[in-house]
Amino acid sequence: MSDVSVLAISGSLRDASFNTALIRAAQRLAPTGLTIEPYRNLADVPPFSEDREAQPPATVVDLRERIAAADALLIATPEYNYGVPGVLKNALDWASRPTFPVTAWVSPLAHKPVAIMGAAPTGMGTVRAQLQLRQLFLWTDSAVVSKPEVIVTNAHERLAADGTVKDPTTETLLRGLLDALVTRIRITQLAATAA
């Protein structure tokens, strides 16, 4: 089987973000053949406007192309006020749209394998944000991996900034999520071949 590449988006712009550290952890634990490329331009994605879709900003074109080129998305979301951070939701709103002028209602997120995870220094953090993301990806027809759920609570005890995972449960869950994502990618590739 050929190698696969995953575009990873942290929903936090914070330098010392636990979610960015979680993506580093995923890079460390990725199985052979899986490359995880972090997306670093989230802060530069302008606010979504339907008026700008016909001539989207260059950052948006790049984001959409990178999603289309990737075999899958890996998203690490913080939870802000029981929900998805605005910057992440904004980027996904841009990505959810078809290319203009519309010849077919297909977005880069359609049928795209997606894995969701999240880290917070709190005891319940990211549960609600992750659920909101799952709901969003229903509308986009994305192929979200449902299990295992990677909900890293008390992240300051489980994760180091360089992506070192300090507890075995988190490591097992993260490895399991990446394995499940590879399986989902393979299923998507097989379906595309058969179509």
Ligand X SMILES: Cc1cc2nc3c(=O)[nH]c(=O)nc-3n(C[C@H](O)[C@H](O)[C@H](O)COP(=O)(O)O)c2cc1C
The residues that touch ligand X, with contacts defined as CB under 6 A, are: 12, 14, 17-19, 78-82, 120-122, 124-125
* Shortest reach from residue 24's CB to ligand X, in Å: 12
Least gap, CB of 14 to ligand X (angstroms): 4
Tell the smallest beta-carbon distance from residue 165 to ligand X (Å): 15
Nearest residue to ligand X by CB is 125
CB-wise, 18 or 137, nearer to ligand X?
A: 18
How far apart are alpha carbons 134 and 136 in whole angstroms?
A: 5
CB 140 within 8 A of CB 128: no
Query: E-assigned strands of 99-186?
Result: 113-119, 143-144, 150-152
Min separation Cβ 188 and ligand X, Å: 28
**Complex with ligand X: residue 78 or 108, whichever CB lies closer:** 78
- Of the pair 22, 182, the CB lying nearest ligand X is at 22
The H-assigned helical ranges of 15-167 are: 18-29, 58-69, 86-95, 127-139, 155-158
Residue 14 or 166 having the CB closest to ligand X: 14
Compute the C-alpha angle 174/180/183, nearest 5°.
145
- CA 166 and chain centroid, separation: 22
